[in-house]
Each structure stands twice: as C-alpha cells, then as structure tokens.
Structure 1
Amino acid sequence: MARAQGARARMALAFETTYGTPPAGGFTKTPFASTSLGAEQPLLNSELLGYGRDPLAPVKDAVTADGDVVVPIDSQAFGFWLKAAFGAPVTTGNSPGPYTHTFQSGSWTLPSMAIETAMPEVPRYAMYSGVVLDQLSWQMQRSGLLTATARLVAQGETVATTSSAGTPAELDLIRFGHFNGAIKRNGTALGNVISTEITYANNLDRIETIRADGMIDGADPSIAALTGRTEVRFADSTLVSQAINGTPCELEFGYSLISGESLTFTIHAVYLPRPRIEIGGPQGIQASFDWQAARDATLGRMCTAVLVNDVEDY
C-alpha cells in the first residue's frame, strides 16, 4: 500500500471569477516548501445531564479552513502571491518580454484563489476554494534559502480521489537568493544591516454568517498593516536620529539577477521607534528597530512591489 510522502506532494492554484467557486481550468503548478493549509471541524462536548456518568455523543462545530504556505521568492510564481496580497498588477512590456508588473497596496478588493494540494499515491486531492491571502512575510539576511510565508484563509475544502485542476501549466523556477538582495534608505544603500523581517497583513475579517454547511461567507480586508524588525550594527546615528525626530523614510528592499529578473519592494513612509542601545559585552553593539509603515500622503499608498520577468500577465 502506498504511503503519503511530502516529496510526492504537488500544489496548483488559479484565481476564481466567483468567490468560493474553483474555475474549470487555468491552474498553474506552484513551487512550495511546506504547507499547513487544511480544514478542521472540532467536536463540542455534550453538556446534557441525566444519562449517567458516561457522556452523550459530541456535536460538530463550525468548519475552519486556513493555514500557511511556505514558498520560494522567485521571479515568476511569486507574482501570484503578490497578486493575492495586493490585487491585480499594472503590467507593461511587449512580447517576448521583459514585462514589468507593478503591485500597489490599498485595494479594497482582493482576488480569491482555488488551491489544490495533491497526494497522488494515496490518492488524495484537496481543493480549497475561496482562498484569500491574510498575511505575507519574509526575512532578509546574509545567507540561507530565501522563502516567504503566506498565511491564507479559505472558505472550505473538498477532497476527491482525482484531480480537479487538470494539467496545470508550469513556470520556470528562477529563484532569488539572499546574495541577490540589497536595502536602500531614501535611495541610498543602507549599510550595517544584519537582518530584516518584513510582514504585510491584510487583516482579513471573516464573514461568519449562519449557513447549513458551516462555512464562512467571505473574508474582507480591513485596515492593512506593514511592519518589520531591522537589526543593524550600531555604526552611526542616522536611524536613531530619525527615530527621535519622528520623521518617516523610504525603505527599498530589492533582489536582482544578472539575467534581468528583479523584485523591488518599496515602503514609502517608514516610521522608526527609538531603540534601546545596550552594551552587552566586548562584541559589536547592535540596535533593533521595530518599524511601522503608513500611507504616504503624496503617493496615496503605503507600498509598491515591482516584479520584472518574462511572464505576460497574472
């Protein structure tokens, strides 16, 4: 008997036209490192008395479908996750490319996805419908594998023994690495950075109406949040002075390859807290900034992501 193995698992996604209704086709095979996406339905203990010490049968509670997907930050498939986070991009360029896809924060309408996870050897094909991205986060550092974590909220799960995604299209996997990363502050390279964590959250509001199937009616975005934590080697007072003055700066996090692909994530108004500068010993002194972003009054948005590749559209 075949046993399920993660090495054999597959994932495919497509954007829905109608929330909660997976499309008949148009799925794309998606690279991923791990996923906790799934549906669960807890049981409620019976509170009834009068039938002895042994409890009565439990009752089913509402269905919850959500989870995380860890994906590589690459030049092609990562565009799907950016679209899920910010909405459809504005794309420019001519065939055969390159194409420039510009994503902007602030949209009140986010697209929903259908995601199928497959374990062919069982067989088990789980289709998640009405999937909306709640949070996208990643870390910049000197070495290691560059991945992002997408936190998702789904309407429900349907399990079958055959695939509903058909034969998904495949993209080229061209990964960015930490070695390809750079950070700029107000257009100038920011030095002495040890690591940076970036988290964009849509702060979804689940529409938990009464339904016969126990599923949610939707997940609407509320006030977004863009936060992070930057560890720097304390070498000058530039960031500390900005924190004390309470003025914002622009931070740009970018990755580029010699083949021409690039990803640039620009936060237009970043506010820094005043950090505690500690001397912990004879080693170098570090400072930590738990920053927050806000809407830039001039541009009218909080952040912009620009992805350059040879994908025509998302």
Structure 2
Amino acid sequence: MARAHGARAQMALAFETTYGTPPGSGYTRMPFASTTLGAEQPLLNSELLGYGRDPLAPIKDALTADGDVVVPIDANGFGFWLKGAFGAPTTTGTSPGPFTHEFRSGGWLLPSMAIEVAMPEVPRFAMYAGCVVDQVSFQMQRAGLLTATARLVAQGEALAATTGAGSPAALDLLRFGHFNGTVTRNGTALGNLVTAEVTYANNLDRIETIRADGRIDGADPGMAALTGRMEVRFADQVLANQAIAGDPCEIEFGWTLPSGESLTFTIHAVYLPRPRVEVPGPQGIQATFDWQAAVDPALGRMCTVTLVNERETY
C-alpha cells in the first residue's frame, strides 16, 4: 500500500475568474518547501440532557480553510505570490524580454487563486478554491536558504482521487540567494546590518455569512500593514538619530542574478522607533529597530515591488 510522502507532494496554482470557482485549465506547477494549507471542521459537543450520562452525537461546526505556504524567492514563481498579495502588476517590455513587473501596495482588488496540493501515490488531490493572500513575509540574513511565507485564506477544500489541475505548465526555477541581496537606505548601502525581517499584511476580513456548506463568502482586504525588524551592529548613530527625529526614510531590499533577473522591495516611508541600546557583555553591541511603514504622500503608496524576468504575463 502506498503511503503519503512529502517528497512526492506537488502544488499547482491558477488564478480564478470567479471567486471560489477553480478554472478547468491554466495551472502552473509551483515550487514550495512546505505547506500547512488545509481545511478543518470542528465538532460541537451536545449540550442536551435527559438521555442518560452518555452524550449524544456531536454536530459539525463551520468550516475553516487556511494555512501557510513556504516558497522560494525566485525570479519566476514568486511573481504569482506577489500578484496574490498586491494585485495585478503593471508590466513593461517587449518580446522576447526582459519584462519589468511593478506591483504596488494599496490596491482594493486582490485576485483569488485555486491551489491544488497533490499526493499522487495515495491518491489524494486537495483543491483549495478562493485562496486570497493575507500576508507575505521574508527574512534577510548572511547565509541560508532564501524563502518567503505566504499566509492564505481559502473558501474551502474539495478532495478527489484524480487531479483537477490537468497538466500544469512547467516553471523555470531561477532562485535568488542571500548572497545576491543588498539593502539600501535613501539610496546608500546600509552597513552593519545583521538580519532584517519584512511582513506585508492585507489584514483580510472574512465574510462569514450563513451558508448551507459552512464556507465563507469571500475575504476582503482591510487596512494594509507593512512592518519589520532590523538588527544592526551599533557602529554609528545614523538610524538612532532618525528614530529620535521621527523622520521617515526609504529602505530598499533587493536581489540580482548574474543572468539579469532582479527583485526589489522598495519601502518608501519607513519610521523607526527609538531603540534600547544595551551592553550585554564583552561581545559586539547590537540594536534592534522594529520599524513601521506608512503611505508616501508624494507617491500615494507604501511600497513598490519590481520584478524583472523573461516572463511576459502573470
């Protein structure tokens, strides 16, 4: 008897035309490291008396479908998750490329996706309809694998013994690494940076209406938030002085491959809190800044993500 094994798991993704309705074709096979995407439906204990000490059968509660997907930050596949988080990009360039895809924060319309997680050896094909990206986060550091975590809210799960994604299109994996990364502040390289964390959240509002199937009616974007953390070796007063003054700065996180593909997160107005600077011992002194971003009045948005690759559309 075949048993499920993570190494055999597959994921396919397609954007929906109608929320909650998986398309019949147009899926792309997506690289991923792990996922908690799934559906659960708890049971409610019976509160009724008069039938003896043994309880009556429980009843089903509302269905919840959500979870995280850990994906590589690469030059092709990551654009699908960016479209889910920010909406459709503005694309410039002519065939055969390169093409520049610009994603902007603050959009009111977020596309929904159908995502199939397949375990072919069981067989178990789980189709998650109405997937909307609630949050995207990543971390920059000196070494290790560069990944991002996409948090999803789905409408529901449909299980089948055969795939509903057909034959997904292949995707060339051109992966960025931490050694490709740079961080700048107001256009100048930010020195003494040890680690950095970035989280963009759509703060989705689930529309929990009364339905016979127990599913939600949708997930609307709320007030967006862009937050993070920077840990720096304390070598100068540049960031501390900015925090004390209360002025914003522009922070840019970027990666570039030797073949020309690039990805840039530009956060236009970053505000820093005044940090506590401690002397923990004889080792180097570090300071941590839990920053927040806000809309830039001149640009009318909080951040811009620019992806340059050979892919024409998303």
Same fold (TM > 0.5): yes
* Residue type of the alignment partner of 1:288: T
CA-CA distance at 1:15 after TM superposition:
0.2
d(CA) in 2 for partners of 1:171 and 1:160? Answer: 25
- Whether 2:54 is the aligned partner of 1:39: answer no
Q: Is the partner of 2:80 in helix, strand or coil?
A: helix
In structure 2, the partner of 1:191 is 191
The Cα offsets for residues 109-162 of structure 1, whole Å up to 9 and x where unpaired, read as 100000000000000000000000000000000000000000000000000000
In structure 2, the partner of 1:51 is 51
Structure 1 gap segments, 5+ residues each: none
Q: Is the partner of 1:179 in helix, strand or coil?
A: helix
In structure 2, the partner of 1:160 is 160
* Residue type of the alignment partner of 1:111: P
In structure 1, the partner of 2:70 is 70
Q: Is the partner of 1:239 in helix, strand or coil?
A: helix
CA-CA distance at 1:171 after TM superposition:
1.1
In structure 2, the partner of 1:221 is 221
Q: Is the partner of 2:7 in helix, strand or coil?
A: helix
How do residues 220-299 of structure 1 correspond to structure 2 at under 5 angstroms?
Answer: 220-299=220-299
CA-CA distance at 1:187 after TM superposition:
0.5
In structure 2, the partner of 1:61 is 61
CA-CA distance at 1:52 after TM superposition:
1.1
The Cα offsets for residues 275-301 of structure 1, whole Å up to 9 and x where unpaired, read as 000000011100000000000000000
d(CA) in 2 for partners of 1:105 and 1:278? Answer: 36
* Percent identity (aligned): 77
The Cα offsets for residues 249-286 of structure 1, whole Å up to 9 and x where unpaired, read as 00000000110000000000000000000000011100
d(CA) in 1 for partners of 2:246 and 2:50? Answer: 65
Q: Is the partner of 2:136 in helix, strand or coil?
A: strand
The Cα offsets for residues 137-195 of structure 1, whole Å up to 9 and x where unpaired, read as 00000000000000000000000000000000011101000000000000000000000
- Whether 2:30 is the aligned partner of 1:14: answer no
CA-CA distance at 1:51 after TM superposition:
1.0
d(CA) in 1 for partners of 2:162 and 2:119? Answer: 10
* Residue type of the alignment partner of 1:114: A
Q: Is the partner of 1:295 in helix, strand or coil?
A: coil
Paired residues in the alignment total: 314
How do residues 112-127 of structure 1 correspond to structure 2 at under 5 angstroms?
Answer: 112-127=112-127
How do residues 128-139 of structure 1 correspond to structure 2 at under 5 angstroms?
Answer: 128-139=128-139
Structure 2 gap segments, 5+ residues each: none
Ranges of 4+ aligned residues in structure 1 off by more than 4 Å = none
In structure 2, the partner of 1:171 is 171
d(CA) in 1 for partners of 2:222 and 2:68? Answer: 20
| TM-score, reference length from structure 1 | 1.00
In structure 2, the partner of 1:304 is 304
* Residue type of the alignment partner of 2:180: N
CA-CA distance at 1:196 after TM superposition:
0.3
Q: Is the partner of 1:19 in helix, strand or coil?
A: coil
* Residue type of the alignment partner of 2:309: N
In structure 2, the partner of 1:211 is 211
d(CA) in 1 for partners of 2:259 and 2:301? Answer: 30
How do residues 144-159 of structure 1 correspond to structure 2 at under 5 angstroms?
Answer: 144-159=144-159
CA-CA distance at 1:80 after TM superposition:
0.1
The Cα offsets for residues 16-47 of structure 1, whole Å up to 9 and x where unpaired, read as 00000001100000000000000000000011
